[in-house]
Amino acid sequence: MSDEPVSQSLPAFVGRFRIDAVLGRGAMGVVYKAYDPQIERPVAIKLVRADLLESEDRDEYLRRFNNEARIAGRCLHANIVAIYDFALHEGNPFLVLEYVEGVSLSQAFKRGTQASVSEVTHIALQVLDALSYAHAFGIIHRDIKPANILLTANGRLKVTDFGISRLTSTGFTQGAMMVGTPSYMSPEQCFGGPVDQRCDLFSLGCVIYELLAGERAFSSLNHADVIYKLVNLPHPSLRDKRPDVPREIAGIVDRALAKRADDRFASAEDMATAFRGLSETKTETDPVNRLTREAEEHETIVVSSSRGQISPPPDTSLRSLGDFEGLDESSVATIERSLARHIGPMARFHLRRAMLDAHSPDELCRLLGQLVPQEDLRDQFVDDAIKIITARQDQSIGAAKAAEQGSGASISRPIPGQPRPAAEAIESITRALTHTMGPMARHLVRRALERSTTLDELQALCLEVIDNVDERRRFQNLLADRGYPGSLPVSVRDLSGDQM
């Protein structure tokens, strides 16, 4: 969950809780990251928006908020964001919730990204476990969507925002008010009529479809068109969007997205059983089953459900390791173990996804660093990953030098006591680039040297990696008064071990 910077408009305290940042804003209110000084732990504070409380619907919003407190207090489950307290601040109610260190699915899987079948199975089973638990209490979420499903730092999924849930036993009716988010609402929600737990299964079907297809099952530029599609039109075939998705998975999605509630799964447990039954029906020749068995030899990911476990297969469309200079199987495994210390068993999947998106090792490190929630640990992780890659490249360079020496080729060496202008100039460039790129600068300079023959070319290549105009100007200013000859020839051998 990413934090927004603290602004002047933030309250200093809500009750006894110190407010540190805004986590998000929704239809019901504002969610803050806060700190509880008594228990000494971070928490999330959900405060009703003042403008809603000042409207003619104040009583309705207060009733719904009080209802949320009662509902959330009954949901004590590993896959549901917990509620710690309920109180008033200057006459306005607020909830004290578990602070989740992580990101939502909408952040983890950007629009256009296609998740692997194993990732989706892992996600679906945990969400279904949470829904099965809540439904047993007569609680319907009514707004299952990627933004309300959080991926924690240890790889666990947590469902949040029960603010628009209703107890089915209370007898509340929606009247003309539709509760939910377009593109994820069930057809019966669109009509504003009575709903049961099967509306949550429809919404989860929309989430699963989007994760696999990389686009929403029902989308348009305006809400009216979305609702028309939800009520009247079938969703586009999942296998037309992504032929590699197994027919059994597509069948589960089709059933969850049935227009009539009676045609869907009867319960979250039934839908979970369908997912868990997939591995039991696969044959030995099925590539998905084969990959699952291979993955079991290396790693088993335990799902939060006490009813079973899954061992997700690796993505079959992984980028070849050879596409990244300096990375081999050993380097990847070391980086994966380092990442797993921060985000848990999902490290393998996020590493593979980043390898698909990145075009160079340094870009790979930046993408992976974004997954580490804590800033101080994030910098350390990126630094460690760069060292792993650099060490591998140094081995390659050392081997090349040894081969060159063995062939009798001459290697220029500095004369003892004489200055090394090229090496000194390269060190100055490295220091200037560090002001912008941080510890990755040394790795970037090393890569640029492999494509440079003069200092001018080296500076130009280093300048290309700086996106910000002001930072580019700063880099140039730092080097402006150096006075070394731009035509001075350079090579990777000018980087001595004591410098780098």
Asked if residue 454 belongs to a domain, the reply is: yes
104-136 pLDDT per residue, tens = 999 888 888 899 898 899 999 999 999 999 998
Whose structure tokens read 């207090």?
Answer: 73
298/288 Cα distance (integer angstroms): 16
330-374 pLDDT tens trace: 778 888 888 877 776 667 777 877 777 677 777 788 788 877 767
Domain boundary among 43, 66, 98: 98
Q: Does residue 270 carry a catalytic annotation?
A: no
**pLDDT per residue over 143-165, tens digit each?**
999 999 998 866 789 998 875 55
In a domain, 267, yes or no: yes
Residues 392 and 434 in one domain: no
Q: Looking at the structure, do residues 331 and 369 belong to the same domain, yes or no?
A: yes
Same domain, 81 and 186: no
Burial class (CB in 10 A: 0-12, 13-18, 19+), 344: middle
Where residue 44 sits, what CATH number does that domain have?
Answer: 3.30.200.20
**What are the beta bridge partners of residue 93?**
88
In this structure, are 178 and 197 located in the same domain? yes
- The amino acid at residue 377 is L
Closest CA to 209 of 238, 252, 171: 238
80 and 140, same domain (yes or no) = no
Highest mean pLDDT among 13-27, 140-154, 210-224, 319-333: 210-224
What confidence tens digit (pLDDT) does each residue in 451-496 have?
Answer: 888 888 888 888 887 877 777 888 888 877 555 555 566 655 555 4
Contact, 226 vs 201, CB < 8 A? Answer: no
Question: What is the distance between the alpha carbons of residues 403 and 401, in angstroms, rounded to a whole number?
Answer: 5
User: Does 207 reside within a domain?
Assistant: yes
What is this structure's pTM?
A: 0.56
457 falls within a domain: yes
In a domain, 66, yes or no: yes
Q: How many domains does the chain have?
A: 4
Flag whether 404 is in a domain.
Answer: no
Non-local CB neighbours of 488 within 8 Å, separated by 6+ positions: 421, 422, 425, 454, 455
Cα 274 to Cα 59: distance, rounded to the nearest angstrom: 43
Q: How far apart are CA 320 and CA 328, in angstroms?
A: 10
| Domain C-terminal end among 98, 123, 138 | 98
Please indicate, yes or no, whether residues 74 and 113 belong to a single structural domain of this protein.
no
Whether residues 89 and 123 share a domain: the answer is no
pLDDT at 8: 47
Quick check: is 302 in a domain? no
Could you list the residue range(s) of the whole structural domain that residue 57 is in?
13-98
**Are both 195 and 283 inside the same structural domain?**
yes
> Is the domain of 347 the same as that of 471?
no
Tell me: do 259 and 147 sit in the same domain.
yes
CB atoms within 10 A of CB 307: 13
340 plus 358 within the same structural domain = yes
What pLDDT, on the 0 to 100 scale, is given for residue 174? 40
Spatial CB neighbours of 358, under 8 Å, sequence gap ≥ 6? 324, 364, 367
| Nearest Cα residue to 204 out of 148, 153, 274 | 148
Q: Out of 36, 129, 143, 315, pick the active-site residue.
A: 143
DSSP string across 326-375: T--HHHHHHHHHHHHHHHGGGHHHHHHHHHHH-SSHHHHHHHHHTT-SSH
Cα Dmax for the chain: 90
Q: Are residues 126 and 252 in the same domain?
A: yes
Q: Report yes or no on 79 lying in a domain.
A: yes
